[in-house]
Amino acid sequence: MIIHESLIELNVTSKNKNEIIEHLTRKAVELGRVSDVAGYMQAVLAREELFSTAIGYGIAIPHGKSSYVQEPFIAFAKSQEAFSWDKRTDQEVRLIFLIGVPEEKANNLHLKILANISRGLMNDSYRERLVQATSAAEIVAIFGEMGL
Amino acid sequence: MIAVCACPTGIAHTYMAQAALEKAALGRGHDIKIETQGAMGIENELSMQDVAEAQVIIFAVGVNVEGEERFHGKPSIMVEVGKAIENPAVVIEKAEKKGEEV
């Protein structure tokens, strides 16, 4: 599965984008989804540099396509308080979805799930449930509903 | 109206913009068909007939549009993908105005 309970962090206190991305990346490494923290983060931060991935609605979707990604994944973090994701735009963010896709043509099924979840995030009720959720299992269940 | 959504990596923004524009357009009583150009290639492709019938085209893109020649001569607006995600209603209103001008 693209999401996994061990890729979820529910009470993030950091208000620093790089710290949060690194924290989630380390979880992805532990699960074997990413082979190298620095290598993958470079792709994510380069994308972030192009323009901020804060998209409104309190959401940021940092993502990287990289040969260091072994298997597509979404890692999720919920911040205790909203914070400014990027000084250039000053968007307040609480929900962070870190997405990883391999460099080589990724499996279409995985891409389809990612597309469905992206569409799902535009749905107010899914977003509200993600904000309210108190356990990793709940988050996984919500992603399941969005992605399938 | 019809729309094309595309972004550089084609993994997330494209589909968020699609969902956001669809919802906003239907909410304002429009028929809308949206082609996505993402990591899975072109989906929900706009046919010649779709283009012919459309009053206005929305390009919500961060990259070049594939098959742009299909849309030559039609009234259109161009917005950033991010704008379509964050403020879809504003984009639809802008498209309405453009469609009425013609």
Are the beta carbons of A127 and A57 closer than 8 angstroms?
Answer: yes
CB A31 within 8 A of CB A4: yes
The span from the CA of A16 to the CA of B99, in Å, is 44
CA distance B101 to chain A (A): 30
Write out pLDDT tens, residues A81-108.
999 999 898 899 999 999 999 988 667 8
Residue A118 belongs to some domain of the structure: no
| Chain A, nearest residue to B19 by Cα | A119
Range of the domain at B46: 2-101
- Paired tokens of B65: 């549009």
pLDDT of A84 reads 97
Annotation says A23 is catalytic: no
- Assess contact for B101 and B47: CB atoms under 8 A: no
pLDDT in tens, B42-101: 999 999 999 999 999 999 999 999 999 999 999 999 999 999 999 999 999 999 999 998
Residue in A65, A101, A118 closest to B16 by CB: A118
Query: What is the domain count for chain B?
Result: 1
- Suggest the residue from B5, B9, B14, B16 to mutate for an interface test with chain A (most A CBs closer than 10 A): B16
Q: Which of A47, A111, A119 sits opposite B16 (nearest CB)?
A: A119
Q: Which pTM does this prediction carry? A: 0.90
Q: How many domains does chain A have?
A: 1
- What CATH number should be reported for the domain holding residue B84? 3.40.50.2300
pLDDT > 70 fraction of chain A, expressed in percent and rounded: 98
Instruction: Identify which of B9, B18, B85 has the shortest CB distance to residue A55.
Output: B85
| Min distance B47 CA to chain A CA atoms (Å) | 22
Q: Is residue A19 part of a domain?
A: yes
Name the nearest CA neighbour of A121 among A58, A75, A78: A58
CB contacts, 8 Å: A125 with chain B: none
